[in-house]
């Protein structure tokens, strides 16, 4: 059985005020917002120890060798595997489904989801980003127990700290006793006589925090990064849930991403494609030379190995695929036209002159031809 006194660092005869003071001190030191992931398990142990030792009846049970926070209550008996006659009776006659003891006030907080936009370079190489989140943190005034400083939890007078009440109902078998959560304390077994003014007894307050997010290379839209214990702190100063950061990759002006490969289109003049040339292309890694051989064809792809996006799980990088777009001039002056005709003659590629007139003349063109007798 866990030594809860040792977890809080107090003697076994410690007063309620000593236990409360020790818990508040440790809760501030070990909270994941301060100690990080390394203090998460220790923070849970301290919260569990305080939940037992701050409650008079639970502490008495614990001092007698029974751990009231364990699922079995620290005791055996009944039928095999801790399932006794009372469990069977309640199964058939409606025991009310209430827990055997009071509900812990310190409960785990909810997970949270935020979205973060990254550019292509950050997705390709990874990055370290600062992210601001509005979330629930442990109340610094009460340390998470919800009580005004100088006050403490009080045992519920209705259920006497049990967290549930028993009622007798009549049935065809006679009188049947049922158990239900105590309405006065909501099943906690304790009440807060003077709630903390800052958190209204919740043990947590809203605050804006700045977190550092390590974005690994290779993330893509929809990738989620888990930040353990960085979500909402639970009621009663309970352990925080997890925070998930969902990535959204912003479009790039030049490159299109397909998996871990990048694609782009490089316009090349017709003469450069025919004669060959060297062009500069600005990539994510800086300027790179693209060596085009003579006779480069439209749609040809030049692959630059290892200049794509980093692989998320396996390391390495994808490729950059450069698609060549050979641009044919749409207008030529007389000298350029004559040079191309000479080239076509030399290559034996003479073609009939193009028909400049439209294939389907308009209404006014046909009327003009008819009036002129054509």
Binding residues for Zn(2+): 139, 142, 156, 159, 182, 185, 196, 199
Using CB atoms within 10 A of its CB, is residue 56 exposed (0-12), middle (13-18) or buried (19+)?
Answer: middle
- Per DSSP bridges, beta strands 112-118 and 164-171 are unpaired
Closest by alpha carbon to 244, among 142, 111, 149? 111
Bind-site residues? 139, 142, 156, 159, 182, 185, 196, 199
- Count Cβ atoms below 10 Å from residue 203 Cβ, excluding itself: 29
Backbone angle region of 304, left / alpha / beta, with phi > 0 → left and psi within -120 to 50 → alpha? beta
Structure tokens at 143: 């340390």
Compute the residue count for the chain. Answer: 374
HSE on the CB side for 374, CA within 13 Å? 7
- Best CA proximity match to 30, nearest among 8, 2, 63: 8
| Tokens standing for residue 121 | 């370079």
| CA–CA dist 133, 244 (Å, integer) | 11
Radius of gyration of the chain (CA): 38
CB 115 within 8 A of CB 249: no
* Rounded Cα distance, 313 and 199, in Å: 43
How far is residue 78 from each of residues 61, 89, 266, 296, measured CA to CA in Å? 19, 12, 79, 86
**Are 112 and 243 contacting, i.e. CB atoms less than 8 angstroms apart?**
yes
Q: Report the first-to-last Cα separation within the chain, whole angstroms.
A: 112
Angle (deg, nearest 10), helices 40-53 and 56-63: 100
CA distances from 327 to 265, 266, 269, 303, 343 (A): 12, 10, 5, 20, 18
Which residues make Cβ contacts (< 8 Å) with residue 273, sequence separation at least 6?
Answer: 292, 295, 296, 297, 298, 324, 326
């Amino acid at each position: 059985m866990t030594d809860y006194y040792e977890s809080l660092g107090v003697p076994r005869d410690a007063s309620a005020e000593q236990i409360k003071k020790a818990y508040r001190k440790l809760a501030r030191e070990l909270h994941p917002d301060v100690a990080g992931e390394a203090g998460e398990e220790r923070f849970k142990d301290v919260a569990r120890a305080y939940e037992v030792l701050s409650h008079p009846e639970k502490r008495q049970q614990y001092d007698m060798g029974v751990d009231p926070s364990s699922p079995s209550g620290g005791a055996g008996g009944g039928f095999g595997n801790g399932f006794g006659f009372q469990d069977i009776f309640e199964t058939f006659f409606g025991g009310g489904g209430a827990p055997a003891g009071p509900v812990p006030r310190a409960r785990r907080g909810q997970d949270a989801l935020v979205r973060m936009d990254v550019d292509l370079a950050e997705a390709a190489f990874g990055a370290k980003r600062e992210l601001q989140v509005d979330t629930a943190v442990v109340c610094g005034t009460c340390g998470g127990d919800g009580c005004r400083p100088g006050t403490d939890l009080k045992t519920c007078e209705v259920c006497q700290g049990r967290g549930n009440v028993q009622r007798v109902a009549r049935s065809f078998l006679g009188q049947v006793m049922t158990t239900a959560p105590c309405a006065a304390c909501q099943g906690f077994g304790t009440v807060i006589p003077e709630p903390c003014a800052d958190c209204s007894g919740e043990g947590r307050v809203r605050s804006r925090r700045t977190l550092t997010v390590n974005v690994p290379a290779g993330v893509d839209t929809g990738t989620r990064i888990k930040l353990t214990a960085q979500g909402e702190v639970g009621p009663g100063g309970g352990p925080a849930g997890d925070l998930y950061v969902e990535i959204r990759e912003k479009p790039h002006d030049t490159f299109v991403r397909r998996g871990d490969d990048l694609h782009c289109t490089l316009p090349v003049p017709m003469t450069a494609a025919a004669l060959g040339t060297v062009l500069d292309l600005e990539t994510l890694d800086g300027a790179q030379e693209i060596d085009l051989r003579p006779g480069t064809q439209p749609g040809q792809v030049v692959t630059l190995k290892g200049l794509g996006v980093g692989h998320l799980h396996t390391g390495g990088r994808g490729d950059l695929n450069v698609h060549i777009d050979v641009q044919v001039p749409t207008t030529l002056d007389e000298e350029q036209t004559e040079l191309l005709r000479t080239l076509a003659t030399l290559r034996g590629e003479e073609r009939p002159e193009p028909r400049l007139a439209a294939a389907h003349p308009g209404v006014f063109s046909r009327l003009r031809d008819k009036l002129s007798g054509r």
